[in-house]
Amino acid sequence: MNNQIEFTNEDFEEDRYSRLRLIPWWDQEKLSNAVIMVVGAGAIGNELIKNLTLLGIGKILIYDMDLIENTNLTRSVLYRAKDVGRYKAEVAAERAREINPDVHAKAFAQNIIDDVGLGVFRRMDVVLGGLDNREARLAINQSCYKVNRPWIDGAIEALNGFARVFVPKQGACYECTMTETDWMLVNKRKSCALLTHEQMNEGKIPTTPTSSSVIAGIQVQEMLKLLHADRGLPTLAGKGYVFNGLTHDSYVVEYQKKPDCMSHDIYEEIIEKQWAAKTTSIKTALEEIKRELGQRAVIDLDRDIAIKAACPCGAEKELFTPVHRLKGDMLICPACGRQMTFESTHTFHGSEPYIDKTFDEIGVPLLHIISGRAGMNIRHYEFTADADAVFQGI
């Protein structure tokens, strides 16, 4: 303790990361320049964010649309009793900044399936998942592959858990690992559009702060190796670390890449456009794309947009929302109360009556990437003007 007297305050400030730097391959600058997305700020997410913050990760984007409940307090080091009722993402970001002021953390109370543009994923060094459902994992996997970014999934149940690393072009992706049961559960969830968010959260999984810290620790260690890719360290790309908390046995499984997997499509070339989802209309974007690809060009979205609902009684209703976001009550006929059917599309030709709508008005998120297609010629266009809004404040 006595030797502390020799340090000045400045020495202590310089010292913050010095024990980390003792690791021969460590480059703290890679960490301070890193941009990491954490999806889910529950049991695993708390441990992920805690680790990222201690390590001095430069920018952390935290996605979670849930509010803190009393029951979260047993597994969430970042939350206090007084935080109950606040957004998990907001409190987690606040605490991250408090633990380490070098860290720029931003909260997004958004749904990862619909609300996050591909250009956001494209700007991440690594995406970390602390999720409790397959549908969100599937969405992250598809987004990460399109823009060629790695992601690391974590899952826990009671004392057990696993961590899996998915890197495009390096072995299996998340979808390759999905079994028939997984698909059945995803489809069941998709068909549950009538259920409320709370009801969908039923069938809760028992989790502990101990298993979440083990698994999140492995995830962040894998992230560190991915950030130091030039050091040639072994990673778990295409593999999973399986942890049995009853025996404390652990092992690594290698997943088989499925040749017919639908998720391996990578957007090779992405053209940055000064378009913004809230101000650029379908018409404006399509005109520009036609100038580049020819008059036959169309716009393709990576999601289906419900355009309008119709009832046998003749009543019609505009929807303009991603099909995934449709809720049962949106399809009840306002005139007669019967169930309406809806029309949806993901392709825009230019003759649509709603062509003057902005992309935001049809449910396309900020900083998204759309595709222009003329025959076999496909180009991908990013709404780059949205980047400032997404990254504002960090």
Note the residues at the interface with Zn ion (CB under 5 A): 173, 175-176, 261, 263, 311, 313, 315, 333, 335-336, 338
Kindly tell me which of 173 and 370 has the beta carbon lying closer to Zn ion: 173
Kindly tell me which of 262 and 389 has the beta carbon lying closer to Zn ion: 262
* Cβ-based neighbours of 13, under 8 Å, separated by 6 or more: none
Radius of gyration over alpha carbons of the chain, in Å?
Answer: 23
Kindly tell me which of 108 and 267 has the beta carbon lying closer to Zn ion: 267
Least distance to Zn ion from the beta carbon of 262, Å?
Answer: 8
Kindly tell me which of 257 and 357 has the beta carbon lying closer to Zn ion: 257
Kindly tell me which of 63 and 174 has the beta carbon lying closer to Zn ion: 174
Least distance to Zn ion from the beta carbon of 343, Å?
Answer: 16
Cα dist from 178 to 124, 138, 183, 262, whole Å: 25, 9, 7, 12
Q: Which residue has the tokens 């009671």?
A: 158
Least distance to Zn ion from the beta carbon of 180, Å?
Answer: 15
Least distance to Zn ion from the beta carbon of 330, Å?
Answer: 14
Cα atoms found within 13 Å of the Cα of residue 84, Cβ hemisphere only:
8
Least distance to Zn ion from the beta carbon of 167, Å?
Answer: 12
Question: DSSP secondary structure string, 60-104?
Answer: EEEE--PBP-GGGGGT-TT--GGGTTSBHHHHHHHHHHHH-TT-E
Best CA proximity match to 251, nearest among 243, 263, 261: 243
Q: Which residue has the tokens 């060009």?
A: 297
Buried b (16+ CB within 10 A) or exposed e, 342-359: beeeeebeeeeebeeebb
174 is written with which tokens? 């998340």
Amino acid symbol at 194: L
Least distance to Zn ion from the beta carbon of 334, Å?
Answer: 8
Amino acid symbol at 235: T
Kindly tell me which of 176 and 299 has the beta carbon lying closer to Zn ion: 176
Kindly tell me which of 332 and 378 has the beta carbon lying closer to Zn ion: 332
Least distance to Zn ion from the beta carbon of 188, Å?
Answer: 21
